[in-house]
Amino acid sequence: MKISIERGALLKALGQAQSVVERRATIPILSNVLIDAEGDQVSFRTTDLDIEVVDRAPAMVERPGATTVSAVMLHEIVRKLPDGALVTLAEDSASGRLTIAAGRSTFSLATLPKEDFPVMASSEYASNFSAKAPVLRRLFDKAKFAISTEETRYYLNGVYMHVSTADGGQVLRCVATDGHRLARIDADLPEGATGMPGVIVPRKTVGELRKLLDDDDAIIAVSVSETKIRFATPAITLTSKVIDGTFPDYTRVIPTGNTKRLEVDATEFAKAVDRVATVSSERSRAVKLALDEDRLVLSVNAPDSGAAEEELAVAYGDEPLEIGFNAKYLLEIASQVDRENAVFLFNSSGDPTLMREGNDTSAVYVVMPMRV
């Protein structure tokens, strides 16, 4: 195999591919990238046995062929090469080395046979549809903060993507929860997604997928089966196993009868919570909200470190209420608001609180209160 490729194109392709590789892989070949040159393009394939990324880039292929080499090391070498350099990759199968040459620099890396590289078994996808990158980006970005990190409840370690109904029509919905807070985000149902099986997309996959969604004009081809999900653009294909488990019935925890309505500027609210939480104890991070007519007092009282209080002008016309929350959860939820004011709907100091942007019901967040 011998190819020549521009450094920028090579770095972009390798950057996406090498991020999947586990840094402490117990099987040596899993640390490698499979480089496959054919026709006028080269593909870079990496896997951790749960996720597989194939990244394609145009190249001048002198001798077609394939080999595997350390993904992280190759990425580091290319990253340190000068901008605009033409990089030549040549494999010498006799010595089992891949030579990387650019300008006056030459590197030689050990290779492993391509036959040893595990290729993810292809599967029949029950549902295939296309979605615009900004749509998927919003669905996953707004939900991912609520993904659980508790390994024991593995079925909460991802975003539950499924078809649901809202306001009389069908929607594509993403839900994540860790038992303390919940995010439910809806988007118009893309054509062809009607019969899609509901799947739990793992946390790592959500992080990797984010890199495919930066281009606002990109159209992502999504394929879903009971066991796998695949996201593809013309240059990149990301295939992932889904979490084998049943996502709990989240509709039961979304309150419908909360009537006490607080409207507040989300940015001002987040800044105020952040300021008063500075003195809270690391363990509880509790912030108390005291609501009265058109005013909100945020307070923290940590006996061992100090106290803080801040008052905000808000729109609130119901009976007075005192309720406590974890400051981190409030900050994360407030930071999801893009356009309008944040609207909080309370019931009592012991019941879950609902938050949304203005009157927009396509993004709904629930947070559990805590005793303060």
Determine the Cα–Cα distance for residues 121 and 123; give it in Å rounded to an integer. Answer: 6
For residues 356 and 365, the answer to whether their CB atoms sit within 8 Å is yes
Tens place of pLDDT per residue across the chain (372 aa)? 999 999 999 999 999 999 999 988 889 999 999 999 999 999 999 999 999 999 999 999 999 999 999 999 999 999 999 999 999 999 998 899 999 999 999 999 999 999 999 988 888 999 999 999 999 999 999 999 999 999 999 999 999 999 999 888 999 999 999 999 999 999 999 999 998 999 999 999 999 999 999 989 999 999 999 999 999 999 999 999 999 999 999 999 999 999 999 999 999 999 999 999 999 877 778 999 999 999 999 999 988 888 999 999 999 999 999 999 999 999 999 999 987 799 999 999 999 999 999 888 999 999 999 987
Long-range contacts at 115-118 (CB < 8 A, ≥ 24 apart): 116/29, 116/68, 117/29, 117/32, 117/34, 117/45, 117/47, 117/68, 118/29, 118/30, 118/47, 118/49
Cα dihedral value 342, 330, 173, 249, nearest 10: -130
